[in-house]
C-alpha cells in the first residue's frame, strides 16, 4: 500500500495542492479555518512530507533551477529576488543560470546545466518572444514553470496581469478628466510591453476615447527622454502613460526642460513602482506588480508538479497589480 501523497491530503481537505503546500511551508496567507482543515487531513492520513527520501528516489535535489536573463531591469531582477525568497520559505535553495540572450540555444544550455545537477524543478523567467520555442522543446518529464512567458503556448505560466495594470493606469488618467492618454511603450518583443499596450488601448476604446498613435521606445530613461522631447512640443498632449517608471523619469525630465508642468500641464503615470518612484519630482503615480505573489504562485505550481510528477492544476495563473496614486496626476489644463 502506497504512502499518502499531497494529492490525497488536498482531496480530503477539499483544497488545492497549492494550499496544502502553503500550509506545510508555513505561509501566512492561509485562512486559519483552512489551515486547521488541512492539518486535520494530514493527521487523519498520516501524511509525512519527506523531501529527502523523495530526492533519493527521483535523483533530484532540494535545489530549484532558475533561468533568467542577465539584466539589471527592475522587473526581472525583482522577480528573481522574490523567487529566491519564496524558495527558501519552501525549504529549497535556488541555482540561477544567467543567460545573455533568451533564445533557444541559451535557454537549452542553461536547462541542461541545471539537469546535470539534478535540480528538483526549473523556473524560467521568459518575458520575450524568442524564449517561447525553447520552452516547448524542453524535456517533458522536468517540472517546469515559466514566469511572464508567452500566454499562447501550452507551458505552465504565472504572470503579472499586465493588461489589467495598464487599464487601471489609463482609466485613472481618464477619470482625472483627460480626453485621451498617450502611451510610451516598451520593446515590441516583450510580453510585458504587449500586455500594457493591450490594456491601454482597451481602456480608451471602452471609454469611447480617441486612441493616439503609439510612441515606441525601450525600457530606458534615455528613451523616455527622447519621447518626452517630442510629446512636450505637442500642445494636445495632456496625459501620458509610460510602460515603466524609467521611461516616466525620462519623460519628466524632458517636460521640465520644455517648461511643461506636471501635473499642471501634463499628467504622467508609470509602471513597476521602482523604489525611487516616490521621490521623483513630482512623486510618480504608477502601477505596482506584486512580485512576491508571482513568486509564491510559481513555487506552488512547481511544487505541485514535483509532488505529483505531472502538471497539476491550471496551466496559467495571473496576479493582479495595484495602482499607487501620487502627485503626478491632475486635471487637464483649461483651454
**Top-ranked range on mean pLDDT: pick from 1-15, 75-89, 304-318:** 75-89
Please indicate whether residue 214 or residue 74 has the higher confidence score (pLDDT).
214
- CA 76/CA 305 separation, integer angstroms: 24
Statement: residue 230 has pLDDT above 50: yes
Sorting pLDDT into bands at 50, 70 and 90, what band is 236?
Answer: very high
Sorting pLDDT into bands at 50, 70 and 90, what band is 49?
Answer: low
- CA 104/CA 124 separation, integer angstroms: 12
DSSP string, 217-252: --SSHHHHHHHHHHHHT-TT--EEEESSHHHHHHHH
Report whether 287 contacts 323 (CB < 8 A). yes
Q: What are 153-186's pLDDT values in tens digits?
A: 878 899 999 999 999 999 999 999 999 999 999 9
Statement: residue 321 has pLDDT above 60: yes
- Number of neighbouring beta carbons within 10 Å of residue 73: 18
Return the pLDDT at 226.
98
Distances (CA, A) of 4 to 284, 292, 301, 307: 52, 30, 20, 11
Return the pLDDT at 149.
83
Q: What are 287-308's pLDDT values in tens digits?
A: 999 999 999 999 988 888 887 7
Sorting pLDDT into bands at 50, 70 and 90, what band is 60?
Answer: low
Amino acid at each position: 500500500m502506497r504512502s499518502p501523497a499531497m494529492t490525497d491530503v488536498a482531496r480530503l481537505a477539499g483544497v488545492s495542492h497549492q494550499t496544502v503546500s502553503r500550509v506545510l511551508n508555513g505561509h501566512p496567507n492561509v485562512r486559519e479555518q483552512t489551515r486547521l482543515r488541512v492539518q486535520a487531513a494530514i493527521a487523519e492520513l498520516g501524511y509525512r512530507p519527506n523531501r529527502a527520501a523523495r530526492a533519493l528516489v527521483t535523483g533530484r535535489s532540494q535545489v530549484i533551477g532558475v533561468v533568467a536573463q542577465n539584466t539589471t531591469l527592475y522587473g526581472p531582477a525583482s522577480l528573481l529576488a522574490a523567487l529566491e525568497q519564496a524558495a527558501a520559505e519552501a525549504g529549497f535553495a535556488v541555482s540561477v543560470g544567467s543567460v545573455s540572450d533568451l533564445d533557444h540555444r541559451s535557454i537549452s544550455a542553461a536547462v541542461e546545466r541545471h539537469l546535470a545537477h539534478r535540480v528538483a524543478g526549473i523556473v524560467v523567467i521568459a518575458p520575450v518572444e524568442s524564449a517561447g520555442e525553447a520552452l516547448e522543446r524542453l524535456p517533458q518529464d522536468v517540472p517546469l514553470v515559466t514566469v511572464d512567458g508567452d500566454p499562447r503556448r501550452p507551458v505552465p505560466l504565472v504572470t503579472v496581469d499586465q493588461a489589467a495594470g495598464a487599464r487601471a493606469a489609463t482609466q485613472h488618467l481618464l477619470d482625472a478628466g483627460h480626453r485621451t492618454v498617450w502611451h510610451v511603450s516598451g520593446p515590441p518583443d516583450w510580453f510585458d510591453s504587449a500586455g500594457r499596450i493591450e490594456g491601454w488601448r482597451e481602456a480608451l476604446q471602452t471609454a469611447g476615447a480617441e486612441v493616439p498613435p503609439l510612441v515606441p521606445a525601450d525600457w530606458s530613461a534615455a528613451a523616455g527622454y527622447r519621447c518626452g522631447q517630442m510629446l512636450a512640443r505637442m500642445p494636445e498632449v495632456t496625459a501620458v502613460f509610460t510602460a515603466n517608471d524609467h521611461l516616466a523619469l525620462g519623460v519628466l525630465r524632458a517636460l521640465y526642460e520644455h517648461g511643461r508642468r506636471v501635473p499642471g500641464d501634463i499628467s504622467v503615470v508609470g509602471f513597476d513602482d521602482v523604489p525611487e518612484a516616490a521621490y521623483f519630482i513630482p512623486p510618480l503615480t504608477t502601477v505596482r506588480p506584486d512580485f512576491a505573489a508571482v513568486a509564491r504562485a510559481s513555487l506552488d505550481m512547481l511544487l505541485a508538479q514535483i509532488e505529483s510528477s505531472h502538471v497539476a492544476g491550471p496551466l496559467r495563473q495571473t496576479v493582479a497589480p495595484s495602482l499607487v496614486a501620487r502627485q503626478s496626476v491632475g486635471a487637464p489644463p483649461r483651454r
